[in-house]
């Protein structure tokens, strides 16, 4: 695989890119534009900019600049009126205002951070994520999803209907492999598939399509999901099963970690349906437990994929 496209957002895509960039491949990260929580949400509301948070994480993951500059883009203010804001988010928003274009801002930040690869917003339109339920109830904004119970019957869509970024379409068509996940299922993965033209392009490309399943279910969103449940739900948004390979973790985390994570969700189990296609189960757990920073306003995942283990199994796929 020479040209690899990743699709997603947040911590999951950061981890994936951090491992893949160690191999001699051309990387393009297609990133969701539905984020409106935390620092990103405040900047969207106050400045009218597009969401910088997930883009920032991908830029840092692919950066080959010195450690100080990378850490600067990750720095989060702890006090004062900027408390909770991330420097990288402020930087990207300032660049957008200066250049008049989020697309140009991302490209300029990529130059400054000396990234190896490309970071591509899935759309350049200002969109919001909506969840609608059979009883007519709606949840508006990605940041509100965590406060509500989501069922399989929910239908997600973006408003206003966006136009796919032509660079994202070209990257998909030119890829040798396309990887969806890991990441927050409804907030980071599904929004990419809701942009008109993206699913159609995924079906048109000859690239291998790979899904990386999450390690843990999210409470009230994917409670009780097994690997097959994720695939079944994905097929609703891709109009059928489009994945050639599925990668999942088959190592149960230590009980101590599961207990600490209990309020967030439970371990994703696997089932007999996995024998029906190219499924690869490996121990993909990171040996390092993420420690939440005290000044970080968002709740983060404690149990994470190991970037090197994930990249290794991907590079061995034939």
Q: What is the pLDDT of residues 69-127, one digit of tens each?
A: 999 999 999 999 999 999 999 999 999 999 999 999 999 999 999 999 999 999 999 99
Print burial letters for 80-100: b (CB count within 10 Å at least 16), e (below 16): eeeebbbbbbbbbbebbeeee
Residue 58 inside a domain? The answer is yes
Total count of domains within the chain = 1
Q: β-strand 208-212 against 177-180: which pairing, if any?
A: parallel
pTM: 0.93
d(CA 196, CA 201): 10
pLDDT (average), residues 272-280:
69
Share of the chain above pLDDT 90, in %: 71
| 95 within a domain of the structure (yes/no) | yes
Mean pLDDT along residues 236-249: 94
| Cβ count within 10 A of residue 267 | 15
CATH of the domain at 250: 3.40.50.10680
Residue 133, in any domain of the structure: no
Question: Any idea of the CA torsion for 136, 131, 39, 79, to the nearest 10 degrees?
Answer: 50
Q: What is the spatial distance between Cα 224 and Cα 233, in angstroms, rounded to a whole number? A: 13
In a domain, 144, yes or no: no
* Dihedral, CA of residue 59, residue 61, residue 63 and residue 68, to nearest 10: 100
Assigned domain for 147 exists: no
Q: Does residue 41 form part of some domain?
A: yes
- Mean of the pLDDT values across residues 215-223? 88
Q: Residue 198: which domain range?
A: 3-126+163-315
Asked if the structure places residue 279 within a domain, the reply is: yes
Domain membership of residue 151 (yes or no) is: no
- 59-69 pLDDT, tens digit each: 999 999 999 99
Mean per-residue pLDDT, 205-231: 92
């Amino acid at each position: 695989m020479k040209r690899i496209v990743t699709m997603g957002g947040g911590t999951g895509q950061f981890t994936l890119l951090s491992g893949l960039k160690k191999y001699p491949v051309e990387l393009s990260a297609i990133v969701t534009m539905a984020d409106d929580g935390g620092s990103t949400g405040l900047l969207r509301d106050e400045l009218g900019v597009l969401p910088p948070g997930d883009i920032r994480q991908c830029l840092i993951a692919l950066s080959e600049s010195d450690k100080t500059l990378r850490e600067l883009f990750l720095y989060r203010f702890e006090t004062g009126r900027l408390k909770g804001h991330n420097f990288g988010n402020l930087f990207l928003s300032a660049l957008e205002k200066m250049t008049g274009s989020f697309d140009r801002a991302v490209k300029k930040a990529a130059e400054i951070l000396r990234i190896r690869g490309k970071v591509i917003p899935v759309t350049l339109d200002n969109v919001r994520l909506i969840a609608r339920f059979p009883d007519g109830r709606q949840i508006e904004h990605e940041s509100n999803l965590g406060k509500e119970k989501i069922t399989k019957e929910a239908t997600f869509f973006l408003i206003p209907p966006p136009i796919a970024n032509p660079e994202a379409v070209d990257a998909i068509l030119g890829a040798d492999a396309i990887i969806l996940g890991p990441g927050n299922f409804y907030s980071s993965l599904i929004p990419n598939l809701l942009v008109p033209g993206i699913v159609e392009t995924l079906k048109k490309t000859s690239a291998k399509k790979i899904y990386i399943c999450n390690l843990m279910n999210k409470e009230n969103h994917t409670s009780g999901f097994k690997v097959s449940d994720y695939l079944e739900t994905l097929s609703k948004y891709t109009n059928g099963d489009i994945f050639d390979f599925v990668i999942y973790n088959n190592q149960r985390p230590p009980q101590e970690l599961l207990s600490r994570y209990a309020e967030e969700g439970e371990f994703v189990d696997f089932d007999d349906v996995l024998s029906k296609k190219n499924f690869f189960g490996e121990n993909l757990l990171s040996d390092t437990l993420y420690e939440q920073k005290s000044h970080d306003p968002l709740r983060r995942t404690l149990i994470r994929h190991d970037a090197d283990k994930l990249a290794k199994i991907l590079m061995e796929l034939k």
